[in-house]
Chains A and B, each alone.
Chain A
Amino acid sequence: MMEFSERGGAWRPVPKWVGFLIRLGYGWPAVQPRPRRIALVSMPCDSAAAGLVAFGALLRDLCDPQANDIDGHYDRLLDYARQYLENCRKCELSKCDPQIRGCGQLREVTGKIRSATHPHGTYQISERTSLAERQIAFSRAGVLLSPKPQYATDWHIDGEPPPQWNNEEGDLSADFYRRILPEAPIDVKNLCQSYSGLCLAGRASGENASREICTAVRFGDGMAEFRLDELLTVHGWSACNVSRISFFNPRTGQLDRNVATPRLVVADGDVSFLDVIDRPEFRKGDVVGLTHRIMERDKLEALGNKMSALRQWYIPDEDMLCALPEVPRGISVSILRRRT
Chain B
Amino acid sequence: MPATATQVFDFIEGHPSFPTERLEISLAEFGALRRSLRMIVVNLREGGDYEAAEAADRLRSLLSEWLTVPVPFDGSMLAALQTFGDPTGVEARWGRDIRIAFDTALRAAQELQLVENPVRTRLQAVVRELRASGRSFKIYCHRTARPHFDSLFVAPGETPLPDSAFLHSPPHYRDAETFDTLVKIGPLRSWGWGSAPDAIKAAPRFATLIQIVWAGCADEPGFGYDPVAPVASDATPREGPVADDSALGNRISWTPRVTRFGYDGTASGGAPEEDEFRVFGRLNQPGQKRRATLVRIDGEHGILFAPHSQVLSFDPAPDSRNPVSQRLPGETLIEGMFVIRPLLGDVDLGGQQAGHGQYSRIWKARLSEERRNNPERLVARLRAAGLDLACLPADIRNWCVAPTTVIHAPHKRKHFEILIRVLLPDSDSDGAPGRNGIPWWQSAWNEIRATRGDAIQAGRHGQELLDDELVVILGGLLPLIRQNASQADGFSLALPPGQTLQGAVLFNRVSLVEDGFLAPDTELRVVRELNMLQQWRA
Residues of B with C-beta under 8 A to A301? 225, 227
Query: Nearest Cβ distance between residue B199 and chain A, in whole angstroms?
Result: 4
Query: Nearest Cβ distance between residue A207 and chain B, in whole angstroms?
Result: 11
Q: Does A193 contact B (CB under 8 A)?
A: no
Q: Are A41 and B245 in contact (CB under 8 A)?
A: no
Name, among A15, A45, A49, A295, the residue most crowded by chain B CB atoms within 10 Å (CB to CB): A45
Q: Are B228 and A336 in contact (CB under 8 A)?
A: no
Q: How distant is the Cα of A9 from the Cα of B9 in the complex, in angstroms?
A: 15
B interface bracket (residues with beta carbon within 8 Å of A): 35 or more
Residues of A with C-beta under 8 A to B9? 15-17, 44, 328-330
Q: Are B516 and A47 in contact (CB under 8 A)?
A: no
Q: Are A44 and B248 in contact (CB under 8 A)?
A: no
Q: Are B516 and A296 in contact (CB under 8 A)?
A: yes
User: Can you list, as one digit per residue, whether each of A43-57 has a CB less than 8 Å from chain B (1) or not (0)?
Assistant: 111111100000000
Q: Does A120 contact B (CB under 8 A)?
A: no
Name, among A48, A297, A324, the residue most crowded by chain B CB atoms within 10 Å (CB to CB): A297
Q: Are A48 and B5 in contact (CB under 8 A)?
A: yes
Q: Are B228 and A41 in contact (CB under 8 A)?
A: yes
Q: Are A321 and B515 in contact (CB under 8 A)?
A: no
CB interface residues, A 310-334, toward B, < 8 Å: 311, 316, 318, 321, 324, 327-334
A interface bracket (residues with beta carbon within 8 Å of B): 35 or more
Nearest residue in B to A12 (C-beta to C-beta)? B6
Query: Nearest Cβ distance between residue B184 and chain A, in whole angstroms?
Result: 16
Q: How distant is the Cα of A199 from the Cα of B162 in the complex, in angstroms?
A: 45
Q: How distant is the Cα of A307 from the Cα of B227 in the complex, in angstroms?
A: 8
User: Can you list, as one digit per residue, whether each of B192-232 has a CB less than 8 Å from chain A (1) or not (0)?
Assistant: 00000111001110000000000000000000011111000
User: Can you list, as one digit per residue, whether each of A235-253 has a CB less than 8 Å from chain B (1) or not (0)?
Assistant: 0000000000000000100
Q: Does B163 contact A (CB under 8 A)?
A: no
Q: Which of A42, A204, A311 contacts B228 (CB 8 A)?
A: A42
Q: Are B173 and A294 in contact (CB under 8 A)?
A: yes
Q: Are A329 and B246 in contact (CB under 8 A)?
A: no
Residues of A with C-beta under 8 A to B6? 4, 6, 9, 12, 15, 17-18
User: Can you list, as one digit per residue, whether each of B318-343 has a CB less than 8 Å from chain A (1) or not (0)?
Assistant: 00000000001011100000000000
Residues of B with C-beta under 8 A to A300? 198, 225-227
Q: Are B203 and A292 in contact (CB under 8 A)?
A: yes
Residues of A with C-beta under 8 A to B63? none
Q: Are A330 and B12 in contact (CB under 8 A)?
A: yes
User: Can you list, as one digit per residue, whether each of A29-46 has a CB less than 8 Å from chain B (1) or not (0)?
Assistant: 000000000001111111
CB interface residues, A 53-104, toward B, < 8 Å: none
Residues of B with C-beta under 8 A to A293? 198-199, 202-203, 226-227
Residues of B with C-beta under 8 A to A318? 241, 245-246
Nearest residue in A to B242 (C-beta to C-beta)? A332
Residues of B with C-beta under 8 A to A333? 228-229, 247-248
**Given A9-B4, A292-B174, A329-B252, A334 contacting B13 (CB threshold 8 A):** no
Q: Are A294 and B174 in contact (CB under 8 A)?
A: yes
User: Can you list, as one digit per residue, whether each of B1-31 has a CB less than 8 Å from chain A (1) or not (0)?
Assistant: 0111110111011000000000000000000
Residues of A with C-beta under 8 A to B203? 43-45, 292-294, 330
Nearest residue in B to A46 (C-beta to C-beta)? B174
Q: How distant is the Cα of A294 from the Cα of B5 in the complex, in angstroms?
A: 13
CB interface residues, B 383-432, toward A, < 8 Å: none
Query: Nearest Cβ distance between residue B62 and chain A, in whole angstroms?
Result: 24
Q: How distant is the Cα of A295 from the Cα of B199 in the complex, in angstroms?
A: 7
Residues of B with C-beta under 8 A to A130? none
Q: How distant is the Cα of A329 from the Cα of B250 in the complex, in angstroms?
A: 5
Nearest residue in A to B203 (C-beta to C-beta)? A44
**Given A45-B3, A294-B174, A294-B199, A330 contacting B248 (CB threshold 8 A):** no
Residues of B with C-beta under 8 A to A297? 190-191, 197-198, 225, 515-516
Q: Are B228 and A334 in contact (CB under 8 A)?
A: yes
Q: Are B198 and A44 in contact (CB under 8 A)?
A: no
Q: Are A205 and B332 in contact (CB under 8 A)?
A: yes
Q: Are A45 and B8 in contact (CB under 8 A)?
A: yes
Nearest residue in A to B14 (C-beta to C-beta)? A329
Q: Which of B5, B225, B332 contacts A46 (CB 8 A)?
A: B5
Q: How distant is the Cα of A324 from the Cα of B247 in the complex, in angstroms?
A: 12
Residues of A with C-beta under 8 A to B246? 311, 316, 318, 321, 334-336
Q: Does A118 contact B (CB under 8 A)?
A: no
Query: Nearest Cβ distance between residue B362 and chain A, in whole angstroms?
Result: 43
Nearest residue in B to A47 (C-beta to C-beta)? B5
CB interface residues, B 302-356, toward A, < 8 Å: 307, 328, 330-332
User: Can you list, as one digit per residue, whether each of B172-196 has a CB less than 8 Å from chain A (1) or not (0)?
Assistant: 0110000000000000001100000
Query: Nearest Cβ distance between residue A334 and chain B, in whole angstroms?
Result: 4
Nearest residue in B to A39 (C-beta to C-beta)? B228
Q: How distant is the Cα of A224 from the Cα of B203 in the complex, in angstroms?
A: 34
Name, among B2, B5, B246, B251, the residue most crowded by chain A CB atoms within 10 Å (CB to CB): B5
Q: Which of A9, A205, A335 contacts B331 (CB 8 A)?
A: A205
Q: Are B250 and A296 in contact (CB under 8 A)?
A: no
Query: Nearest Cβ distance between residue B246 and chain A, in whole angstroms?
Result: 3
Q: Are B332 and A204 in contact (CB under 8 A)?
A: yes
**Given A293-B202, A300-B198, A332 contacting B5 (CB threshold 8 A):** no
CB interface residues, A 249-282, toward B, < 8 Å: 251, 271
Residues of A with C-beta under 8 A to B328? 204, 271
Q: How distant is the Cα of A46 from the Cα of B190 in the complex, in angstroms?
A: 20
Q: Are B331 and A316 in contact (CB under 8 A)?
A: no
Q: Does B291 contact A (CB under 8 A)?
A: yes
Query: Nearest Cβ distance between residue A169 and chain B, in whole angstroms?
Result: 31
Nearest residue in B to A297 (C-beta to C-beta)? B190
Q: Are B332 and A332 in contact (CB under 8 A)?
A: no
Q: How distant is the Cα of A46 from the Cα of B7 in the complex, in angstroms?
A: 12
Q: Does B118 contact A (CB under 8 A)?
A: no
Q: How distant is the Cα of A46 from the Cα of B199 in the complex, in angstroms?
A: 12
Q: Does B170 contact A (CB under 8 A)?
A: yes
Q: Are B515 and A296 in contact (CB under 8 A)?
A: yes
Q: How distant is the Cα of A300 from the Cα of B227 in the complex, in angstroms?
A: 6
Q: Are B250 and A303 in contact (CB under 8 A)?
A: no
Q: Does A170 contact B (CB under 8 A)?
A: no
Q: How distant is the Cα of A327 from the Cα of B291 in the complex, in angstroms?
A: 33
Residues of A with C-beta under 8 A to B265? none
Q: Does B72 contact A (CB under 8 A)?
A: no
Q: Does B249 contact A (CB under 8 A)?
A: yes
9 contacts between A and B (CB under 8 A): A42-B226, A43-B203, A297-B190, A304-B225, A330-B9, A331-B250, A332-B226, A332-B250, A334-B248
Please name the 9 residue pairs, one residue from A and one from B, whose CB atoms are nearest each other, closest first.
A316-B246, A44-B203, A47-B5, A332-B228, A303-B227, A297-B190, A304-B227, A334-B247, A296-B515
Which B residues have a C-beta under 8 Å from some C-beta of A? 2-6, 8-10, 12-13, 170-171, 173-174, 190-191, 197-199, 202-204, 225-229, 237, 241, 244-252, 291, 307, 328, 330-332, 515-516
Which A residues have a C-beta under 8 Å from some C-beta of B? 4, 6-7, 9, 12, 15-18, 40-49, 204-205, 251, 271, 291-304, 307, 311, 316, 318, 321, 324, 327-336
